[in-house]
Amino acid sequence: MPALSALSGRRLKELATSGGFAIDDNTGNRMIEALEAAIEALESRWSELVKLQETPPMSETPAARWVAQHMVDTAADADGLLTQLNAARTEFPTYVEAIELAKRTYREAETASSQEFTGLRDRLDTTEA
């Protein structure tokens, strides 16, 4: 299974554009702040994180060599921590874009609803007068 395939940033943007994902400004801003903090943390630590691809220094016994290789393999294989973090690092900016779109979608829906209710109220007021 590819990293972060459950809901890609591209799919989230499609949902936001079509109205299938809308979010208020306050919640959206909080989500964006969290994502940007995660992006910043990943970027600032990336040079250290990529060291997970390197074989750790261990003794030269067969068991130590196996463990060292296993550590590298599990960190960098298709489901490994480094692979998943790199996918997140790549995908999170698209999530931010999707949330921005979803915020706009929410505002547009709120404006349309407000205008519809105002028009309905005005029609009722005119009818009662």
Residues 6+ apart with CB under 8 A from 111: none
pLDDT band at 4 (very low <50, low <70, confident <90, very high): very low
Distance CA 120, CA 129 (A): 14
What pTM value is reported for the model?
0.74
* Per-residue pLDDT tens digits for 39-93: 999 999 999 999 988 998 889 999 999 999 999 988 988 888 999 999 999 999 9
Q: Which helix (H) or strand (E) holds 64?
A: helix 62-76
Distance CA 38, CA 112 (A): 34
Nearest to 56 by CA among 42, 45, 71, 41: 71
Average pLDDT in the 22-47 region? 96
